[in-house]
Amino acid sequence: SYELTQPPSVSVSPGQTANITCSGDKLGNIYTSWYQQESGQSPVLVIYQDDKRPSGIPERFSGSNSGNTATLTISGTQTMDEADYFCQVWARNTGGVVFGGGTKLTVL
C-alpha cells in the first residue's frame, strides 16, 4: 500500500514562513491535496492539485510537489493558522485515497 509521511509537529513564529512536508514514493508524479483541521472542527481543503487554492483560502497558503516530497507553505504565518494539516493523494495503483499522518502546526 502507498504511504505518506509527515513530521508530527512544526513550530513557527508569527509572521514567519512555515513549511510542512509530505513524503512518498515518486509523490511528484501524483497530485497532492492539503487539509487544515483546527481543534474540534472539520477539515478544510486549503490546496488541491499540488498548488491550487480553493476560493476563500488566503494567498499566504501555497503548495509545491516534486520528486518524493510535497510541501505546504504558509507565508506570514498567523496565530489563526495553528492547526493540524494533512496531505492526501489518490494512489492509482491501489485504487484508494491515502492521507498522511498529519502535522501539528504551532505558532508561538
Partner 1 sequence: EVQLVQSGAVVKKPGDSLKISCKGSGYTFPFSWIGWVRQMPGKGLEWMGFIYPGDSDSRYSPSFEGQVTFSVDKSISTAYLQWSSLKASDTAMYYCARRLVYGDYGWFDLWGQGTLVTVSS
Looking only at residues 38 through 77 of this chain, which bind partner 1 when binding is defined by CB under 8 A?
A: 42-45, 48-49, 54
How far is residue 86's CA from residue 34's CA, in Å, rounded to a whole number?
6
CA angle 85, 94, 62 (to 5 degrees): 30
Q: Which residue from 19, 29, 38, 97 is in contact with partner 1, where contact means CB under 8 A?
A: 97
Binding of residue 18 to partner 1 (CB under 8 A): no
Question: Cβ distance 18 to 74 under 8 Å?
Answer: yes
Q: Which residue from 22, 88, 105, 107 is in contact with partner 1, where contact means CB under 8 A?
A: 88
- For partner 1, the closer CB: 43 or 76: 43
- The CA–CA distances, whole Å, from 101 to 39, 54, 86 equal 16, 22, 7
Contact set with partner 1 (CB under 8 A): 30-31, 33, 35, 37, 42-45, 48-49, 54, 86, 88-90, 92, 95-102
